[in-house]
Amino acid sequence: MPTVDVYNLEGKKVSTVDLKEEVFGIEPNENIVHSVLANYLANQRQGTQSTKTRAEVRGGGRKPWRQKGTGRARQGSIRAPQWIKGGIALGPKPRKYSYRVNKKEKRLAIRSILSSKVLENNLVVLDKISFKDIKTKQMVNALAKNKVEGKALVMIAEKNENVEKSTRNIENVKVAVVNTINVFDLLKYNKLVLTLDTVKKLEEVYA
């Protein structure tokens, strides 16, 4: 069972917490993580790209010149693909890229990434994150005092407007609620910052 230190917003150690083995202590499954990440990225694609075929472009209703006797290559329409302003041959059409992945695989991918954060010492646990008002400086100071550098994902148990708005102007730092997390964000941000309430909620959902 992994054990990590718990700090306050001033960067001082206040306690330790035992993390559930089945959520934060499994052997990361890289294949599942890759599969779920590919699914997430595919589902983000709009698939609205479109080109017109020779049947859809304007014009080209009559044969440009007679079949024989002109010395030129035979042509049936000035909107064939080889003509300027002609239709596009085999061009992209609107389509759906999304597909479904087994729910168990998604949960395993999340647990794998959480476990890898613990193994790589990229998990920071705070006793709580709460601000009386909206000030970016408060979050900047809290992250600095807890030595959170680079890209960081701050995960909270439930929506908190003061925390979210105090963070949105900080480059490479994002606040997410537990029920909105995804594989892409967990991989994009190298540091993961959790509160004790967030740890409990993750263990309830993913254990």
- What pLDDT score was predicted for residue 2? 86
CB-based burial label for 67 (10 Å; 0-12, 13-18, 19+): exposed
Q: Strand 123-126's sheet: what is its strand order? A: 13-18, 3-7, 123-126, 191-195, 152-156, 173-177
Residue 13 dihedral angles phi and psi, to the nearest 5°: -70, 130
Which parts of the chain fold into alpha helices (H)?
21-24, 30-44, 103-119, 136-145, 161-167, 183-188, 196-206
**3-state SS of the chain: helix, strand, coil percent to 5?**
35, 15, 50
> What pTM was estimated for this model as a whole?
0.82
What are the tens digits of pLDDT across the range 165-205? 999 999 999 999 999 999 999 999 999 999 999 999 999 99
Residue 79 has pLDDT above 90, yes or no: yes
- What pLDDT score was predicted for residue 1? 78
* Residue extents of the structural domains in the chain: 3-29+101-206, 51-91
User: How far from chain centre, in Å, is Cα 107?
Assistant: 15
What are the tens digits of pLDDT across the range 111-167? 999 999 999 999 999 999 989 899 999 999 999 999 999 899 999 999 999 999 999
Measured CA to CA, the distance from residue 13 to residue 20 in angstroms comes to 20
Which residue is it, tokens 């168990």? 104
Decide: helix, strand or coil at residue 188: helix
- How many CB atoms are located within 10 Å of the residue 74 CB? 11
Which architecture characterizes domain 3-29+101-206 according to CATH? Answer: 3-Layer(aba) Sandwich (3.40)
Q: Which two tokens stand for residue 21?
A: 């083995």
